[in-house]
Amino acid sequence: FGLFVESGPYGLYQNLTIFEREYSWTKFAGMLYVDNPVMTGFSFTDSPDGISRNQDEVADNLYAFFVSFYKAYPQYKNNPLIIAAESYGGKYAPAITYKIMTENANSSNPNPPMPLKGMAVGDGLSDPATQILGYADLAYNFGIADPAEAATMREYQKNILHNIETKNWPLASKLFNDLVDGPPDLFQNYSGSPNYFDVRISYTPVYGGDFSAFLNRSDVRAALHVGDHYFLDGSVAAEGLQDDLCKTVKPLMPTIFNNLDVLIYNGQFDYIVGAPLTENMLALFGPEWHGWRTWLDQPKVIWRLAPSDQHVAGYVKQFDSTSSTTFTQIVVRDAGHISPWDQPQVISQMYQNFAYGLPFKP
């Protein structure tokens, strides 16, 4: 989905022919796409024990992949590496970033350090305990839930938080699914819409052709050298991580924030991980994140792609975390959860600015 719909060099028409995308990130960076976790896409295991059950296992698998990648392609060993992910990748990205940082600092690690430069997360679910508490207010303020419905959602949120605190992960996951991640769920019941990716529309958009069907064609699989394996929909991987749904990676994030370039962004009209949910999470850090107070006090910049543009691209808070690293938070205007689809030029420029240290100008 990310490759064909959001950031890759090619999109896919309904008739399963490809076209060149105008705002591919490959125009300013080398892109490496990973089918993650195991049993997603072409990644596979022959044993149930190979299916990831938590973020430690996800990170271990991804780290093993990177070790193999740099052995196979040593010409990239000095290229700055940025880990980027969205949505549930709000867990994957911190998990693998922290793993690489830890292994880079491990003097007994036989593998050479990886050229890790930064991490970017879009609309990321990273700390459910703080983020889940924002759904009722988000639904009410978007005009989706009336006061009584918002009160019902708050009861669900309270019960989810209780089960997180008591580590009843199966029930916490079930209640979270009942709240916003069904169907059926309270969001869909109250909004009449299946689309919690963008509150502006009440249907599921067509994002292009059926890329699973395209990738499973014999000629495409042969070109990709995947042997006898077929592209999987990820349902097995998702089921393996059901008990992980309400767990947090927040303890990993201060170390990342303190030592690397970091980009955190949200689409303005996203509901499933809306901007206020990310704000809630960031506000409840503390001095363990050295830039926390600076973030709280940082004035925002109203960002336009060009000074003459009438269209506002987004709202930016950016500061130097250290003498060599930056922290950037952006709310992307006129975008939902799939912000690279909604605003491809803006998101492409955002990532280019982040990767190369370019300013976000008013």
Residues identified as active-site: 87, 270, 337
| Residue 262 near residue 282, CB atoms below 8 Å | no
| Residue 156 near residue 179, CB atoms below 8 Å | yes
Encoded tokens for 200: 């502006």
Q: What amino acid is encoded at 14 in this protein?
A: Q
| Residue 198 near residue 269, CB atoms below 8 Å | yes
| Residue 289 near residue 253, CB atoms below 8 Å | yes
Between strands 326-332 and 261-267, the pairing is parallel
How many other C-beta atoms are found inside a 10 Å radius of the C-beta of residue 254?
17
Torsions phi, psi for 116 (to 5 deg): -70, 125
Residue 13 CA, chain-centre distance (Å), reads: 25
Listed in sequence order, the residues at least 6 apart from 23 whose beta carbon sits closer than 8 Å to its beta carbon are 344, 345, 347, 348
